[in-house]
Structure 1
Amino acid sequence: MAELQIIPVPTRILTDADDIVDAIAYYAGAQVTADDLVCCAESVVAVTQGRFVRPEELTISAAAQFACRFIPDYGSLASPHGMQALMNVEGTWRVMAALFAGFLGKLIGKSGLFYQWGGKEAALIDDVTGTMPPFDKAVVYGPAEPAQVAARIAARVGAFGAMVADVNDLKRSRVVGVSDGVDGELAAKLLLDNPFGNASQKTPICIIKSYRQYQASHTA
């Protein structure tokens, strides 16, 4: 079986003037084969879709100031700006109800209810410093239609598949969108060491070489 390799792909800074599929074809296309899986950081996909807001554009409510106090310090919703951005798209009452449900869930030993009931953006929003400059000064939402984006990437570069992933340095890796035929949960485990570099590294794309064979051998 061919050797499994994860190759980070450097790019210039990508902005909302870019199309993520075109960018991946330009920077990574020559390295991709029909056996490979192309992965892209979800925050960069969202930036190219214009899905971000600058903190100074947000009006912080008392509800956001209150709710953010109950989020762990490392979370993107621990700041009033991150929490307000969530409330603006998911609704204040939904977020507050989810926060209360999360509190009750913890009393009976069940975690994660806030993120389960707070809307899809609850787990996807990146607060300031969460992505590549100059968008490290913006709150970035999750990408729109990530599965369709992944399908377009795979078709464009002729890969076995593509995945939009939410990965961080806390050993958390989650599938946001994946093309047909790819075992996203299996692939996500390969990204636990976070090969993406959204800061000075400018490597928001990575290629998992020979992933087709790897998946076949681990799902047979």
Structure 2
Amino acid sequence: MDFIGAYSSANISFLLSGFWMTLKVAGIAIVLSFTLGTLIAIIRYAKVPILSQFLAFAVNIIRNLPLLLIIFFMRFALPEVGIKMDTFTAAIAGLTIFEAALISELIRSGLNSIDKGQIEAARSSGLNYIQTLRYITLPQAIQRMVPPTVSQFIALLKDTSLAVVIALPELMHHARIINGGGNQDQVIPILILVALMYFTVNYLLSLSARRFEAKHL
């Protein structure tokens, strides 16, 4: 195995540029999916007529579809009806829609786990439904759902590698280009480095989640 050749400055720089793209796509998708997922969870928890039923139907469909199919749909199907996206936008849109469906279920479970006595006490003290949701129910639900939500974010970061199929220049895409250069002695060293990059970020995320959970127990 050619570790020296694999870890040349050119290869390292090329992988880091791909890793930056991975982090950028994942970061944007995390913010958007968490925001959208929370909104969906609130609407379904509040049982808004018609809208909550429609969202429940949509979430169930999305959760049972492969993420790869959704990314393909965003990049190649939507342009057929006049909605064109570049690879960067298509990857973010696909990840956001898929992860928002999963996160909404986590947040909704958290909302449903709140003791009804707290809600009744808040209402009897003069808080309206929105205030109770904002100050009592939602903060506790999100706090309880931090570990599984962070686990979902970790999965999202790893799932960015699926965007290689639409030629998004992310980490795995760049690793494939390097390994496609014909030097088989560099394949394992490159994959080891890629694995370490993913592991480092995911470990830091999981460590942060454990510390948050321990702090709020």
Tell me the TM-score normalized by structure 2: 0.28
Higher strand share: 1
Looking at CA atoms only, which structure, 1 or 2, has the larger radius of gyration? 2
Higher helix share: 2
